[in-house]
Amino acid sequence: MRTTKFSRIGIALLAAALPAMAQVQFRIARMTRNDVPAGKGQCDIRLQVDNEVEVAVHRDMVNIRVLSGQNPRDDGSECNAPLPDRDIQGFNYEVKESRNEIRLIEEPSRRNDFTAIVHIRDGAGGYGRYHFRLSWAMAGPGGFSGPGGPPDFGRRDDRGGGFAWNNVIHFSGAGRGVSSLSGSGPQRLFDANVDIDRGGKIQVTFRTDRGRPIMFAGDVIGKDGDTLKADVAADDRMLRLRGPMYISVDPRQNVYRISLEATNGRDNLRVNWDRR
């Protein structure tokens, strides 16, 4: 009995001493080349990898789980548009450069929240360069438009066919809404502030019934009719959950509706707000 007890203690101490798997995250740069055909979305992921990693590409973000070795480094990754967060037409994966093993283990799908996952194993010692390309058919000229046709606000990006924002919105107004985070219950929302700069950077803040505001920040990625679509991440209190936010704007650039559904696969956040 005593030996078993000490063995359990020893195992627990050993587990505590083992290093946790590292995570590396970065936002993919906007492509500046103009050699991608119109109507084609493309992401070139270029990395320096030491040993073994699992690379997840979602929208314009790369999340890398380090299985062994040193932390990988971005080596010039770029996209002409974010990887779509809906059913993808004409998806293709292509290895452009590698030193050892690289393979696609999951294509983007509803099951994995439209994330492409690539496994890399480099056993040659030190860092090796890896370059893989994801490509797909754009859904219309802007790549983000819905059934109503191409965006009529902003302009088309002539560098790669992707959506590009070219306007400024500063909105502050009263309203009513609710945010619901799994495990913590709903909270009421009141005044909203929406700031979008000419580069498409967006920040949205809500006043709440709990005294502290909640904030979201990200990028405008498309427009359909009077509704903007943004890829945003919540603040620390909302677990930095990421997802698409939809902001409806009238002709005078007053925001009248905001909605969001965000998740990390375990926790879920839902926001609905209407102007009063």
* Residue 271 pLDDT class (50, 70, 90 cuts): very high
Please tell me the distance from the alpha carbon of residue 216 to that of residue 77, in angstroms, as a whole number. 25
Tell which wins on pLDDT, 215 or 223: 215
Look at the block and give the residue holding tokens 């929302």: 189
Q: Which two tokens stand for residue 236?
A: 């620390």
**77 φ/ψ sector (left φ>0, alpha ψ -120 to 50, else beta):** beta
User: Is it the case that residue 266 has pLDDT exceeding 50?
Assistant: yes
Residue 236: the pLDDT is: 86
Q: Which long-range contacts (CB under 8 A, 24 or more apart) does 113-117 make?
A: 113/58, 113/85, 113/263, 113/265, 114/58, 114/83, 114/84, 114/85, 114/86, 114/88, 115/56, 115/57, 115/58, 116/56, 116/57, 116/58, 116/83, 117/54, 117/55, 117/56, 117/57
Residue 21: the pLDDT is: 64
**Domain ranges for the chain:** 20-140, 165-275
Please tell me the distance from the alpha carbon of residue 220 to that of residue 82, in angstroms, as a whole number. 11
Q: pLDDT, tens digit, for every residue of 163-189?
A: 667 788 999 999 999 999 988 889 999
Say what the alpha-carbon torsion angle 248, 251, 255, 257 is, to the nearest 10 degrees. -30
**Average pLDDT of the segment spanning 53-68:** 93
Task: Note whether 202 and 238 are within 8 A (CB).
Answer: no
Q: What is the mean pLDDT of the chain?
A: 83
Q: Which two tokens stand for residue 244?
A: 């698409």
Task: Note whether 162 and 38 are within 8 A (CB).
Answer: no
The mean-pLDDT minimum among 8-22, 24-38, 114-128, 238-252 falls in 8-22
Q: pLDDT, tens digit, for every residue of 8-21?
A: 555 455 444 444 56
**Average pLDDT of the segment spanning 238-249:** 90
Q: pLDDT, tens digit, for every residue of 107-154?
A: 999 888 899 999 999 988 899 999 999 999 986 443 333 333 333 333
Which 3 state secondary structure label does DSSP give 110?
helix
**Average pLDDT of the segment spanning 151-158:** 37
Please tell me the distance from the alpha carbon of residue 189 to that of residue 269, in angstroms, as a whole number. 14
Q: Which two tokens stand for residue 93?
A: 């994966």
- How many residues in the chain? 276
Residue 141: the pLDDT is: 41
Please tell me the distance from the alpha carbon of residue 49 to that of residue 33, in angstroms, as a whole number. 25
Percent of the chain with pLDDT over 90: 54
Cβ atoms within 10 Å of 126's Cβ, excluding its own: 11
CB-side exposure of 261: number of CA atoms within 13 Å? 3
- Assigned CATH topology for domain 165-275: Lipocalin (2.40.128)
Task: Note whether 140 and 128 are within 8 A (CB).
Answer: no
Residue 83: the pLDDT is: 92
Task: Note whether 117 and 65 are within 8 A (CB).
Answer: no
